[in-house]
Chain A
Amino acid sequence: MKRFLSVLLVTLLLVPLLITSATAEEVTITLASFPDQPKAALEAAIAAANLGFKVEIIEYPQNEYENKIKMAFGAGNATDLVLIDGPNTASYAATGVLEPLDAYWAKEDFDDLVSSAKSTATWNNQIWVAPLNESNTVLFYNKKVFDELGITAPTKVEDAWTFEQLLDVCEKVTIPGQRYAIQPQMFSLANKNEGQTYTQMLWLWMGGGEVIAPDGSTATGFFDGEGSKAGIQFYADLFTKGYATTEDIVNAFETDRVVMWVNGPWAIGNWRRDFPNVEWGATPMPKGARSASGSGSWNIGMSAASKHKEEAWKVIEAITGKQGQTIWCEETMNTPARASVLESLDMYKEYPFDIINEQMLKTSMARPSTPAYPQISEALMDCFFEVAYGEDVNAAVAKATQKMNEALGNVK
């Protein structure tokens, strides 16, 4: 009996030890994300890859997402993988918190990316992130209102409305104090985030301008150039003429308070989920001195401090590889960053993705790639906010140019 009790006691002591050591060897890869990137779609892509280890997706509120991951990097407790917005890649890479992906990513597979996605993924001749998808922007419109007023929207880039034609449409659809013609940026002006810059920058490009010099040295002669000012002035006029509003209207497009909206195809996914009754149509971005549409989206980067880099790379492959990206894009209605996925899915040949595909080939433009991008983005956004509220375009542009030059001057 004594012997039996001793054996039992030793077993009881050993079992937890064995369990603990087995658990310690289990790998869990953590991925920082935010609610706008549907978790279910990420999980579906990961599940399809059958990785054999656990992947935990940690969500932070969207407006606080970037702060959270920056602080986590600073505190040394970042997740293994993080979602990074395309234009911010350089600012993260420059601080050394990201692991370069060149050693993990086979060249032939990397070459499957469309060219704009390749530029987003690279900085300083190294690959830093893997794109979740590409992006593009169109002018969405309320189909019911257009049908009622007999307005026909073009569906080819070559037929896109000119700025003057857009103003005519704005005049027709506006009901003063009740219905606004257009929301020319992604969110109402009560929001300050990259989505605003992403869409506001289009007006500057359409006016014929640029944000900074191609070598990233200055904004003088670019942001304050005549083309940029013309685009910004057009954006300002939309507000001063009463076609757009500075009011913070919740779900303005979905509740018929705004008729047109500059946004990306992910809006379609949101409508399907949350507003199935919205009757929408899409038309190419209008053209001023030239045509322009957005590009660059969210990517996955690997923390340089990750203890499980091989496994972390497998997760990146699972989500951004051909299979994963197909699942992700079908679920979220995002535009693929891989040429092979773009070709294999029929939905990208159909309306409205046929417009997006054509724009991606002909008119898409990339936001500047510089470690000073966060400051550039903020200065640009502030400038557009100021002119929307009726401030003088020249003064607002001069102020923003000075801020941009200071930020660019601090890049080492």
Chain B
Amino acid sequence: MHKFVRARPIPGTGGKEQRMTVRKLRTSAVGYLFILPAVLIIGIFFVYPAIQLFTIGFTDYNLMSGRGSQVGFSNYANMFRNPDFVNSLGVTFKLALFIVPTQTLIALVMAVLVNQKLRGVSLFRVLFFFPAITSFVAVAIMWKQMYNPTFGLANTLLQWLHLPRMRFLSSKQQALISVGVACIWKSWSYFMVIFISGLKEIPQEIEEAARIDGANSFQQFLFITLPMLKRVTLFVVVITTMDAIKLFIPAFTMTSGGPLGTTDTTVHYVWRQAFRLMQVGPAAAMSTVLFLIIVAITLVQFKIGSKENQ
């Protein structure tokens, strides 16, 4: 049995107020202790590296020697004159423009389908979720093998269908789409689960009322389900956009950014500058710019989302 000790009032002050303050302080201290591990982890692994990254962007830091001198804003000034960096930004946005709508649409449609009360549907939910829990490196290697022009599954299927063979990853025109397809395959089911949870929250009475009013399934989906999923959709779009802009593994594992930089995402380009070519200062400046771009896009998306919600 715990024994609670009452705080002694200090003479000359209100005893009740004093007790309240001590209690508040105790409660706050316990709260701070609870969040301390999270604050420490975020501080050590996110905030400190982010500050370091920002400061390194103004130097010509050498990763091996750990030395570097101040170069002012020259890393920032040079990056937009660098055609390879500009190309990598273009690649990243093209990839995001392909992945975000396609993946969101697939996830939404599949969520509606597996949300039906049919026999065995939960098995499909589990099966569909497998790619989401598989390592991205493993997925990228698997797709690289499937795209292999000699023995890959993709060309074998095309041959069966009497269609011409495709170059996939070694074609300037097809490589980015091929990488995008692998990315979508990996992640759509994760967002499908988020959409399912959104669907579960839609009150059945509204759907029933719509049905009584004579709305068919498509009309119900269009006028009831979609508007009720706005908040979930905003969340999915924001997260998918951030993920798409930060893509690294498929470029690294499947194509090395090639052919001719057509799949060279910004993160992959920055990584190459930093760790292959030892240009850590410019790479840090590029990362800072990419971070600011992601923040700006996310804010715009939230702004649009909140306006629509109103």
Contact = CB atoms under 8 A, between A and B. Distances in A.
Interface of A: 66-67, 70-71, 73-74, 91-92, 95-97, 189-192, 246-250, 255, 257, 374-375, 378, 382, 385-386, 389, 391, 399, 410
Interface stretch (B14-22, B273-281, B302-310): B273-281
B65 interface: yes
Given A95-B65, A247-B167, A247-B170, A385 B277 contact: no
Nearest to B257: A192
B255 interface: yes
B256 A389 contact: no
B18 to A, nearest CB: 53
A378 B276 contact: yes
A247, A249, A255, A385: residue with the most chain B Cβ atoms closer than 10 Å: A247
Contact of B170 (A66, A70, A190, A386): A190
Contact of A192 (B167, B170, B256, B278): B256
A386 B150 contact: no
B277 A246 contact: no
Contact of A246 (B63, B65, B83, B170): B170
Contacts of B276: 66-67, 374, 378
Nearest to A386: B260
Contacts of B203: none
A91 B148 CA distance: 36
5 pairs of A and B residues whose beta carbons are closest in the complex: A95-B65, A95-B64, A74-B63, A73-B64, A192-B256
B199 interface: no
A73 B64 CA distance: 5
15 contacts: A70-B278, A95-B65, A97-B64, A190-B169, A190-B256, A192-B256, A246-B259, A247-B170, A255-B150, A257-B150, A378-B277, A382-B261, A389-B259, A389-B260, A391-B260
A192 B63 contact: no
B172 interface: yes
Given A190-B170, A248-B170, A249-B149, A70 B259 contact: no
Interface of B: 60, 62-66, 83, 148-151, 167, 169-170, 172, 255-261, 275-279
Given A192-B258, A374-B276, A389-B260, 17 more contacts: A66-B276, A67-B275, A67-B276, A70-B64, A70-B275, A71-B63, A92-B64, A191-B256, A248-B148, A248-B149, A249-B149, A250-B148, A255-B150, A378-B277, A385-B258, A385-B259, A391-B260
A378 B273 CA distance: 10
B167 to A, nearest CB: 6
B66 A74 contact: yes
A97 B149 CA distance: 43
Contact of A190 (B63, B172, B255, B279): B255
A195 to B, nearest CB: 13
Nearest to A375: B277
A250 B149 CA distance: 9
Nearest to B171: A246
Nearest to B172: A389
A35 B278 CA distance: 24
B262 to A, nearest CB: 10
Nearest to A251: B150
A2 to B, nearest CB: 46
Contacts of B260: 382, 385-386, 389, 391
A391 B259 CA distance: 12
B259 to A, nearest CB: 6
A309 B148 CA distance: 47
Contacts of A382: 260-261
A175 B78 CA distance: 47
Contacts of A255: 150
Nearest to A74: B63
A94 to B, nearest CB: 9
A192 B272 CA distance: 11
A109 B143 CA distance: 52
A91 B62 CA distance: 11
A247 B259 contact: no
Given A70-B278, A375-B277, A378-B276, A95 B172 contact: no
Given A70-B275, A248-B169, A189 B65 contact: no
Contacts of B279: 375
B150 A250 contact: yes
A208 B132 CA distance: 54
Contacts of A97: 64-65
Contacts of B150: 249-250, 255, 257
Contacts of A192: 256-258
A249 B165 CA distance: 14
A374 B62 CA distance: 14
Given A190-B169, A247-B167, A391-B260, A374 B278 contact: yes
A250 B172 CA distance: 19
B264 to A, nearest CB: 10
B193 to A, nearest CB: 33
A74 B64 contact: yes
A257 B151 CA distance: 13
Contact of A247 (B66, B149, B256, B278): B149
A70 B63 contact: yes
A189 B278 contact: no
A84 B154 CA distance: 39
A191 B149 CA distance: 15
A228 B17 CA distance: 86
A392 to B, nearest CB: 13
Nearest to A371: B278
A96 B167 CA distance: 45
A393 B172 CA distance: 18
Contacts of B60: 410
A67 B268 CA distance: 14
Contact of A189 (B66, B170, B275): B170
Nearest to A190: B170
Contacts of A375: 277, 279
Contacts of A74: 63-66
Contacts of A70: 63-64, 275, 278
